[in-house]
Amino acid sequence: MKLSRLALAAVLLPLTSQAEEFSEPGDALKLPPLVITSGRVAEPLSKATAATSVFTREDIDRLQPSSITELLTRVPGVQVVQNGGRGSTASVLIRGTGNTQSLVLVDGQRIGSASDGGASLQYLSIEQIERVEVVRGSRSALYGSDAIGGVIQIFTRRGEQGLQPRLHLGAGSNNTWERSLGLAGGDQQTRFSLNTSLDETAGIDRTGPSFDSDADHDAYRNKALSFNLSHQLNEQLETGLSVLDQRGRSEFDNPFGRFDMATFQSFPQQPSSDFTLSAASGFVDAQLSDAWNSRLELGHSENRQQSQDKLSDEHNVFNTYRDSASWLNTLQLNDSHSLLLGADWYEDQLHSTTAFDQQSRWNQAAFIQHRFQGELFSTELGLRHDQNQQFGSQNSWNTAVTVPLADSAIDLIASYSEGFRAPTFNELYWPNDGNGYIGNPDLEPEHSRNYEVQLRGEHWDTRWSLAAYRNEVRDLISTELYDPINYIYRAVNLNTARLQGLELSLERNVLGWRASANASLLDPRDTESGHTLPRRARRTLSLDLDRQFGAFGVGATWQAINSSYDDVGNTRRIAGYGLLGLRGSWQASDEVTLDLKLSNALDKDYSRALYAYQRVNYAYQEEGRALLFGFTWTPNL
């Protein structure tokens, strides 16, 4: 959905009685019980039909994550695969689906690459973030392509009434430096927020033995700017804009080196990638009547990657430029029935040093969703029709039934939802350039059917949820030998997968400690071979404990990840691991906060991915024990 975070709540507040209590624009983003992404409406978390996790800015400050990907490891059913340290290539796997099979939005804008399909979450600065919502389960009936595993929506910082300046400085292990500066404020009619940050680290050596050129540390630099503005013209009309721009450089290792087809030799490299990740949107929101709200939003996003090598003239560019528009209408028919009617459009433009046969495509869609809210049960039924320039039309359904149990203390939710993923430009149009791979313009989209049952409630000051799901994914895009003489592989719709599992989430206060526990059991299986899908751990556990002692706060995180396999044949095993993190904070005054974080406190040697060099398996190295000290100044004006 192309909705700016600045006025999401204002668009949708008339839809729920709880939301009507908040009269100021954007208040929903500050309130943990309300979510937006699950149903494209502002609603209480307890009423969302999809399994949803929410992190507010308060959570981020308390947990002190260094990145979005580190924060996401706390979500049940979510696993992060990273190729060694901060700023390295990261894949986010929701309920066993692939990195390209989940939709990522920043302030409502798609940020995924049109060439490889991934969203570069590792490049998003945590200092720019106000809120993160993670929806688990297929949601293509609302969002279209890519939402097979779920939807991650990230909202950047916003303003409140008054004037709030902020300065943050951080220093830590591996020559890590963090600097951010922000100014936010506003009144009843106008809100604004302007933020900038610069993060740098010398990094670690991400790979083991290969070429001598890989023995150096891989540095990372990220500079970011975000700005948003909203203005309430009158009681019925609001307008605003939102901008995020992040750019920098990430060094990495290529253990295999640069392969010369003429000599069949590999040569050492010192590669790096210059990146730009940006999103901008503007909206007009009109309350046309007591029952009808209409909103129009235009957006533009860019995902630019330029890689180069210090030891050769190798140079590659993959730039995605995306324009988008969205029109959303919410109709409250009566106390029990409501309709959501909308239309989405976006167009991708790919500029690359690789000679793709096609460099652009558009997608247009219309959708409708009906909701019924009754005393004995509630229902949800939605349909979306996508028309794509490359693969034609696609229909997606979703439905859910909610039944209150035990005097409404427990909700039982049974749902069915569909998802699909359009093939990427790499999969469709990659040319025969001698690298042993060729695209296939006849590919069909991947499809999924997700069946799910949830139980959730609140008892004895404990918020809990239990979900059991089965996601059947067909037409998975893989490769097969296309030219056996020249060993050229081609993209094809080949595999099917069965993803099923259980998720448990608990939150409560225990003897003064704030406790949060999330556990997941997953069976991600290729139904053709019976093998476990690569890099998916079957069992994961995350536990956070925090307590405040006056001006002092302390906390700890324990994460346990089961072993997995790095290859489709299940021959290369990635060992499981457990990580302990410690943190503390001191509110030295009303204006000054000091933070201290110890990551990987037990100095665990672990890896999330492997690589094979000269027929020997090596691990991408993750950061060992690391200390980070932070200083935050929020002067009162």
Alpha helices in 333-473 (DSSP H): 425-429
> Is the pLDDT score of 2 beyond 70?
no
Q: Residue 15: its pLDDT value, please?
A: 33
Looking at residue 9, its pLDDT comes to: 37
Q: Could you tell me the sign of the dihedral formed by the alpha carbons of 87, 252, 80, 477, in that order?
A: positive
Spatial distance between the Cα atoms of 309 and 265, rounded to a whole number of angstroms: 17
DSSP 614: T
Tally: H helices and E strands in the chain: 5, 38
Residue 25 has pLDDT above 60, yes or no: no
User: Within a domain: residue 2?
Assistant: no
Tell me, yes or no, whether 524 lies in a domain: yes
The two three-digit tokens of residue 96, written as one number: 């066993």
CB half-sphere exposure, 34, CA atoms < 13 A: 24
- For 151, phi then psi, to 5°, come to -135, 130
Under DSSP, the state recorded for 142 is: H
Number of domains present in the structure of the chain: 1
Q: What is the pLDDT of residue 265?
A: 76
The stretch 333-348 carries a mean pLDDT of 97
pTM: 0.93
* Angle at CA of residue 293, ends 12 and 402, nearest 5°: 45
User: Is there a contact between 66 and 628 (Cβ–Cβ < 8 Å)?
Assistant: yes
Predicted confidence (pLDDT) per residue in 61-119, tens digit: 999 999 999 999 999 999 999 998 899 999 999 999 999 999 999 999 999 999 999 99
pLDDT of residue 261: 62
The closest alpha carbon to 387, from 339, 422, 341, 436, belongs to: 422
- Asked if the structure places residue 314 within a domain, the reply is yes
Taking CA atoms, 438 is separated from 98, 350, 444, 482, 489, in Å, by: 21, 18, 16, 9, 6
Mean pLDDT confidence for 438-448: 95
- Predicted local distance difference test score (pLDDT) of residue 637: 82
Q: How high is the pLDDT of residue 262? A: 66
Distance CA 382, CA 386 (A): 13
545 belongs to a structural domain: yes
Q: What is the pLDDT of residues 550-608, one digit of tens each?
A: 999 999 999 999 999 999 999 999 999 999 999 999 999 999 999 999 999 999 999 99
pLDDT higher than 90, residue 443? yes
Q: Can you tell me the mean pLDDT for 613-619?
A: 78
The pLDDT tens digits of the residues spanning 354-405 come to: 999 999 999 999 999 999 999 999 999 999 999 999 888 999 999 999 999 9
The answer to whether residue 145 is domain-embedded is yes
Contact present, 4 and 226 (Cβ < 8 Å): no
What is the Cα–Cα distance from 622 to 207, expressed in whole angstroms?
9
Mean pLDDT of 618-633: 94
Nearest to 343 by CA among 310, 374, 366: 366
User: Does 460 have pLDDT greater than 70?
Assistant: yes
Domain for residue 122, yes or no?
A: yes
Cα 554 to Cα 360, 545, 564, 581, distances in angstroms: 51, 8, 33, 11
Q: Which residue has the higher pLDDT, 329 or 407?
A: 329
Burial class of residue 409, CB neighbours in 10 A (0-12, 13-18, 19+):
exposed
**Radius of gyration of the CA atoms of the chain, in A:** 24
Three-class secondary structure of residue 465 per DSSP: strand
Q: Can you tell me the mean pLDDT for 18-22?
A: 35
Residue 7 above 60 pLDDT? no
Confidence of residue 12 (pLDDT cuts 50, 70, 90): very low
Residue type, 79: Q
* Residue 252, domain CATH: 2.40.170.20
Site of tokens 């990430």 = 250
Q: Which two tokens stand for residue 179?
A: 């600097």
More confident: 601 or 254: 601
Confidence of residue 618 (pLDDT cuts 50, 70, 90): confident
Percent of all residues in the chain with a pLDDT value above 70, rounded to a whole number: 94
Query: Over pLDDT 90: what percentage of the chain?
Result: 79
Model confidence over 204-234: pLDDT tens digits? Answer: 998 876 777 788 899 999 999 999 999 999 9
- Give the residue with greater pLDDT, 262 vs 66: 66
Direct distance between the N- and C-terminal alpha carbons of the chain, in angstroms, rounded to an integer: 37
Tokens of 325: 């528009």
List the domain range (segments joined by +) for residue 89: 8-633
Q: Mean per-residue pLDDT for 532-544?
A: 96
Structural domain contains residue 283: yes
- Given the structure tokens 């909705």, which residue do they identify? 3
CA distance 632 to 589: 11
Placement of tokens 């693969």 in the chain? 391
Report yes or no on 3 lying in a domain: no
Which pair of structure tokens corresponds to residue 176?
């890590």
Residues 245-256, buried b or exposed e (16+ Cβ, 10 A)?
A: bbbbbbbbbbbe
3 pLDDT more than 50: no
